[in-house]
A = this chain, B = another copy of it.
Amino acid sequence: MKKEKLLVAKIGGNIIEDEKALSSFLEDFSKVEGAKILIHGGGKSATKLANQLGVKTEMIDGRRITSSDNLDIVVMTYAGLLNKKIVAELQKYNSNALGLTGADANIIQAKKRSVQFIDYGYVGDVVKVDPTIITSFLGQGIVPVFCAVTHDSKGQLFNTNADTIASEIASAMSTNFDVSLFYCFELKGVLENIEDKNSVIEHIDLNKYSQLRDDEVIADGMLPKLQNCFDALQKNVSKVHIANADFIKNNNTKHTTLSL
């Protein structure tokens, strides 16, 4: 039987921080037909609130060292301010959005990242995504909107990377859906030369990835993102793209497509 199509889109970075860009993306996203899920980050807003509250922000390799105070800030920003603004805006565009953390309906269980060299604090690595309840929401015409917060089912919330959540949700949903995973950001895709916004690498497979990594063409932040892409492909996600927000309304714009 042919599986139903499902779009899993992740937005982050500058799109969320720019009210106009966000609104424009959400309007385009609301027009996409069929089942869809949105995942968002919001690190810059969290850092801004931390600064306002005089709480120190410490990042290692693009990951936030999450103290108890930082966790509160992350939860307030991601699950509160940003998630609910996105939900209300999607409702305006007649998308029946439902804002979620991984704790809600116990959808995403995580465990504290184990300490090797660095203690990231309340950072959680995804253990399990429950696709059943998400599927039930989709069946009711709901558009789930996940922020980057998970829990351990024992009362502890965690800060979890939004790219990873997107990859894990896309993977978990692939059993019953034909899933396209779309990482959407301010650039056009993965760039050959970070100085040249048009130098999009249009296709990356595992060999090319290995080569780009060896040649140090792709930088720190892009490495885990690409790893999330390949993880999803290995777990039966049909298509993975890294693209500009415009890609959601115009699939012909130049972008990066991943394959194994």
Contact = CB atoms under 8 A, between A and B. Distances in A.
A229 interface: no
A231 interface: no
A106 B91 contact: yes
A47 to B, nearest CB: 15
As for how many copies of this chain the complex holds, the number is: 2
A155 B94 CA distance: 10
Interface residues of A, number: 40
B84 A103 contact: yes
A80 interface: yes
A75 B103 CA distance: 18
Interface string A76-101: 11111101110111011000111111
B75 A91 contact: no
B96 A157 contact: no
Contacts of A78: 80
A140 B136 contact: yes
A154 B89 CA distance: 7
Nearest to A109: B91
B84 A157 contact: yes
A88 B103 contact: yes
A193 interface: no
A63 B1 CA distance: 56
A77 B79 contact: no
A53 interface: yes
A104 interface: yes
Interface of A: 49, 52-53, 72, 75-81, 83-85, 87-89, 91-92, 96-101, 103-106, 133, 136, 140, 142, 149, 151, 153-157
20 contacts: A49-B76, A52-B53, A53-B53, A72-B81, A75-B80, A75-B85, A78-B80, A80-B80, A84-B103, A87-B103, A88-B151, A88-B157, A89-B155, A91-B155, A92-B154, A97-B105, A98-B100, A99-B101, A99-B103, A105-B142
